[in-house]
């Protein structure tokens, strides 16, 4: 069974701090990895994706992928109260071109002033 695991939280950080969100996945054949942000009552919005091992930076966000350890993380620098949301990790797993995405249950992030 394909699994994507996230700590449900909540993760509470002070404004201006670095928030670190982690995700592990079970299928070693996974090819692509995504982070989405979901505000309460809204649909998920894409933050970034990563395909290769290492770090990928986009503004205040950095995604880190380690395929050997089967984890992907998201760092949010200079956290703002507006970053308070649920962060979903998604992994494209599968073979033969099916690539059905699997989502984690999400980590709730609270950034307090």
Partner 1 sequence: GAVVSQHPSRVICKSGTSVKIECRSLDFQATTMFWYRQFPKQSLMLMATSNEGSKATYEQGVEKDKFLINHASLTLSTLTVTSAHPEDSSFYICSAREGLGRDTQYFGPGTRLTVL
Tell me the two tokens of residue 40.
Answer: 């309460």
- Please report whether residue 1 would count as binding partner 1 according to CB under 8 A: no
Contact 99, 31 (CB under 8 A): yes
Nearer to partner 1, 57 or 99 (CB): 99
Q: Phi, psi (5° rounding) for residue 40?
A: -55, 125
- Please report whether residue 112 would count as binding partner 1 according to CB under 8 A: no
- Please report whether residue 61 would count as binding partner 1 according to CB under 8 A: no
Over the window 71 to 90, marking each residue x when it contacts partner 1 by CB under 8 A and - when it does not, the resulting string is -----------------x-x
Cis peptide before 10, with omega less than 30 degrees from 0? Answer: yes
Among positions 1, 69, 82, 100, the unique one binding partner 1 when judged by CB under 8 A:
100
d(CA 27, CA 24): 10
Nearer to partner 1, 13 or 89 (CB): 89
């Amino acid at each position: 069974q394909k699994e994507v695991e996230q700590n449900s939280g909540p993760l509470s950080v002070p404004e201006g701090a670095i928030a670190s969100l982690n995700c592990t996945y079970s299928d070693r054949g996974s090819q692509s990895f995504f982070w989405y942000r979901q505000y309460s009552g809204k649909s998920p919005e894409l933050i970034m994706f990563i395909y290769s091992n290492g770090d990928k930076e986009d503004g205040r966000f950095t995604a880190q992928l380690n395929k050997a350890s089967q984890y992907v993380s998201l760092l949010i620098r200079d956290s703002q109260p507006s970053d308070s949301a649920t962060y979903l990790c998604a992994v494209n797993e599968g073979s033969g071109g099916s690539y059905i995405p699997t989502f984690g249950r999400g980590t709730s992030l609270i950034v307090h002033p």
